[in-house]
Structure formats: C-alpha cells, structure tokens
C-alpha cells in the first residue's frame, strides 16, 4: 500500500501561484510514476500531468502547459506541482496518484490515489 497525502491547496486570485505537495508513505515511492489529476464541480476527473519514476520524463495536459511544473524528490517521497498564472478554470480538487507506469496515468488509471486538495482561483 502506498499512502498519498496532498497539501498546499487554497484560495488564490487569478494570475497567482500555488505549490501543491503530495507526500507518500508505505511502499517504495521511487518505483512509481506519479501524476496529478483534477476534478471541477460537475465535471469528470481529468489528467493534468505525470512524472516518471526518475523524474526525467513528464507530460502535461495542453491546458496547463507552460504554467504548471511537476517535480519529485525521491529522497523525501514527495511529488510537487508548481502552478503559476492560475486561471479561474483551474478551480478544482486536485488529486495525486501513483501508478506502475506513466502510460496508465494518462488514461486515468492508477494504483493509489490521495484524498485531494481544493484549489480555488478567483477572478
């Protein structure tokens, strides 16, 4: 079992920044590709970004390219999501997830999920 706990969400004005963290415990963190997803009210959960186990491979949804940056620190068992130039349409609950392969994350499939953290961007 890999336990994931997100933090760092909150209320921010449009154009502002937030940094989300996802701390993992349990199984070997570095064995997993990690991803961030989000779900806005009334919408389905959508893929945001993933990072490979070593951190060298990433892939972003078009809606966040150039504004969001994912990183991971395997020594700290933590993955981060730096979100800049936030827009009201970024408002959602953000979830981190772990999977045995990055390809699965792009399809919304993961082995473990966090409980989510709310991000609200005001206009």
Q: Name the helix (H) or strand (E) containing 37.
A: strand 33-39
Average of per-residue pLDDT across 54-79: 95
The token pair at 70 is 């994912």
**108 neighbors 47 (Cβ within 8 angstroms):** yes
Question: At residue 27, does pLDDT exceed 90?
Answer: no
* Sign, CA torsion 34/97/20/93: positive
What is the percentage of the chain residues whose pLDDT exceeds 70? 100
- Our measurement of the distance from residue 115's CA atom to the centroid of its chain's CA atoms, rounded to an integer in Å, reads 12
Question: At residue 55, does pLDDT exceed 90?
Answer: no
pLDDT (tens digit per residue) in 89-98 = 999 999 999 9
pLDDT value at residue 43: 96
Average of per-residue pLDDT across 46-75: 95
Q: How many CA atoms lie within 13 A of 59 on its CB side?
A: 14
Residue located via tokens 């004005």 = 13
- Our measurement of the distance from residue 92's CA atom to the centroid of its chain's CA atoms, rounded to an integer in Å, reads 12
Least confident of 6-10, 53-57, 110-114: 53-57
């Amino acid at each position: 079992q890999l336990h994931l706990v997100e933090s760092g969400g909150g209320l921010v004005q449009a154009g502002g920044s937030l940094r989300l963290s996802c701390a993992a415990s349990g199984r070997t963190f570095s064995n997993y590709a990690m991803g961030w997803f989000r779900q806005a009210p009334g919408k389905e959960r959508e893929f945001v970004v993933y990072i490979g186990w070593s951190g060298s491979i990433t892939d972003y949804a078009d809606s966040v390219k150039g504004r969001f940056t994912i990183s991971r620190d395997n020594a700290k068992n933590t993955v981060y999501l730096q979100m800049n130039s936030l827009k009201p349409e970024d408002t959602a609950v953000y979830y981190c997830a772990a999977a045995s392969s990055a390809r699965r994350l792009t399809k919304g499939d993961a082995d473990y999920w966090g409980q989510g953290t709310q991000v609200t961007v005001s206009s």
